[in-house]
Amino acid sequence: MVARDLLGRVLCRRLPDGDVLRGRILEVEAYDGPGDRASHAHRGLTKRNAPMFEAGGIAYVYLVYGMHHCLNVVTGARDYPAAVLIRAAESPDGASAAAGPGRVTRAFRIDRSLDGAPLIGPDLWLEEGKRVPEAEVRRTPRVGVPYAGAWARKPYRFVVVPGGERPGR
DNA sequence: GGTGCGATTGCA
DNA sequence: GCAATCGCACCA
């Protein structure tokens, strides 16, 4: 599964001033296919979710609640809407972690100008990182989608737990 | 052309 | 517990 393989990869972002921010991905959620009721794509192609219907390898960035951006990695084939929401990553400053999709995009200065951008640079890209061992991967149901019925309970959320102990949240 | 709400966060 | 804040999906 692509979502699980994104854990540990390094999210990289070049700012307008040339500085580069990096941080390992620590938490993701998968949204898979038109039938996934938790996905923005389940009602079909719209202006907002259009990038999800493109071929994988690009970003899907949208604004939620009028104040927070969320970053997704589009993973499906063309016309098959699938994406992985980046919910948490190491903070670029290396000190703390950015936990929560809105915090990740804020820490990396990601907004809708990157919607649909290819994930192979120049402003946003992914690098290989140390693979996260299975012992440190936790699977849980997704967050914030209680309206999705049975789909809300699918264990499509992947979290890196450094010690290999205790599920997050 | 008008209205309601969300893949959230932060503060009371 | 609840307000903040706005693009856009949906209905008329």
pLDDT digit string (tens) for A110-136? 999 999 999 998 999 999 999 999 999
d(CA A44, CA A114): 22
Question: What confidence tens digit (pLDDT) does each residue in A71-89 have?
Answer: 999 999 999 999 999 999 9
pLDDT classification of A166: cutoffs 50, 70, 90: low
CA of A118 to C1' of C11 (A): 35
Cα A151 to chain centroid distance, Å, stands at: 18
Q: Is the pTM of this model over 0.75?
A: yes
Q: What's the CA A143/C1' C4 distance, rounded, in angstroms?
A: 21
Contacts of A150 (CB under 8 A, 6+ apart): none
- pLDDT at position A52 over 90: yes
Please check whether residue A28 is in contact with residue A87, taking contact to mean a CB–CB distance below 8 angstroms: yes
- Dihedral sign from CA coordinates of A87, A90, A92, A95: positive
